[in-house]
Each structure stands twice: as structure tokens, then as C-alpha cells.
Amino acid sequence: MASSRLMKAIYVALFLLYVDAAISLSLVSSMVAFLHGRGGQPFEVRRLGSFFDLPGEPAHLLTDHGHTTNAAGGTGVVLVGFGGLLALWLEHRSRAKYGKTSPFYYLWALITILSWLLTLTALIYTYVLTNRHSDQGIDLAYAEGNAPKPYPRDSWTPENWYTQVNSLSLVHSDDHDMLKKKLRSMRGWRYNLIPFMILGFILMVLVIVELLSFRRSRGRKTEQPFEERPHESAHLVA
């Protein structure tokens, strides 16, 4: 009975994790598309009555945290999500037919652990990197003299860089509106790592606890016939 309730909880947690992982993938993909599109093109900046084109990307743009988050999202959708549905289906068949756990279910349990560790790594890496570069600013005098070359000072995450670009006096107001929208998306996938990590932890714990619960109940069933034999012998003697 306890194992059955845990299985239902696993299905719910798996569904929520799949949805959250898909959201993470879509938000990171939106940022990548922006970097390869409008984000990589110059922004016209107003300074002291004159104008100059600030390159869309700095010389040192940090994107490894985005790749790590993308890997965590892909793992959540494919290996944990789709792999989980297959593992649960095989597990139901194995328990109904053989009364034991399938090897694939053990493999999937291991995958949930590794997936959670990857998500936790992405969470820590992203927040540490973002906070480390959050107090940087763009030196407009230097940027104007350096144009049209990419801004070479400091290293930047996309979120930090475009936050500073949006704080400048841009000639076209549409650029401000567009950057505000894209920055919401960038902050969105960073914030989304928190529930993503929590859901991964919940699913991992549920799978491990359910496995242990099933093993204990299976062990009690195998021990019970041996415990009944002395009573049967006593009846025969009587």
C-alpha cells in the first residue's frame, strides 16, 4: 500500500519536473536565439550630443552556465522524463510478472540522482557567476574610442551585459523595450533553476524511498513461508 502511494507521488513529481525542465529549455533557447540574432548586432548609443555604435556582444561573453543549464534541462526532459515513463512501465510489468524490480528501474533511479546533481551544479554555477559580475559597468568613453571593436574590459554574463546596455541612453526606444523583454527571459531561466532543483530532489527521494519500501515488503513476503513451517509441523505431530 505504501509503495502504491509512493508510485502515485512519483508520477506527479515526474510530470512537474518534465514541465519545469521544458520551460528551462525554452527560456535558455530563447536567450541563445537572441545572442545569435539581434543581441549580436550593434546598439546606437547617445553620448554628449554625439552617437556611436556599441557592439552587441562584449569581447568576453560567459555562456558556460547557460550550456550547463541547457544540459540539465535536456536531461530532465529526455532521460528523466521520457526515460522515466519507460522505466515505470517496465517496472509495473516486472513486479506484476516476476515480483521484483527491473534493472532499467535501478538505472533510472541512478539517472534521477545524477540529473539532480547536474541541476544543483547549474544552479550554484549560474548564481555565483551572475553575482560575481553584477557590479560591473560599461565605460562609455572607452567604449566609444574602441568602437566598432567589441568591448574588451571585464567578462560578462549575457544578463549582466544587456542589463548595462539597457541602462545606457539608446537612440532607439524599441531597443529598450526589446532588451527589457529579453532580460526578463534571462532572469526567468535563472530563477527557474530553484524550483527545477527542488522538484529534482523530491523526485529523487521518492524513487529511492519507494525502491527501499518495495525491497522491504518483498523481503517480508519471502520470509513469511519459512516462519509458518514450524506451526505446520506441530499440527502434523498432534
Q: Does residue 7 belong to any structural domain of this protein?
A: yes
Can you give the pLDDT at residue 131? 96
Q: Does residue 190 belong to any structural domain of this protein?
A: yes
122: which 3 cell numbers?
547549474
HEC per residue, 153-222: CCCECHHHHHHHHHHCCECCHHHHHHHHHHHHHHHHHHHHHHHHHHHHHHHHHHHHHHHHHHHHHHHHHH
Q: Does residue 79 belong to any structural domain of this protein?
A: yes
Q: Does residue 10 belong to any structural domain of this protein?
A: yes
Total number of domains constituting the chain: 1
Q: Does residue 238 belong to any structural domain of this protein?
A: no
Q: Does residue 94 belong to any structural domain of this protein?
A: yes
Can you give the pLDDT at residue 216? 85
182: which 3 cell numbers?
529579453
Determine contact, residues 218/100, Cβ cutoff 8 Å.
yes
Q: Does residue 180 belong to any structural domain of this protein?
A: yes
pLDDT tens, position by position, for the chain (238 residues)? 566 889 999 999 999 999 999 999 999 999 999 999 999 999 999 998 899 999 999 999 999 999 999 999 999 999 999 999 999 999 999 999 988 999 999 999 999 999 999 999 999 999 999 999 999 999 999 999 999 999 999 999 999 999 999 999 999 999 999 999 999 999 999 999 999 999 999 999 999 999 999 888 876 665 555 455 555 444 544 4
Can you give the pLDDT at residue 234? 46
Can you give the pLDDT at residue 236? 42
C-alpha span between 127 and 133 (Å, rounded): 10
Domain that holds residue 96: 2-229
Q: Does residue 202 belong to any structural domain of this protein?
A: yes
Can you give the pLDDT at residue 92? 93
Q: 112: closest CA among 204, 220, 190?
A: 204
DSSP annotation of 135 reads T
157: which 3 cell numbers?
554574463
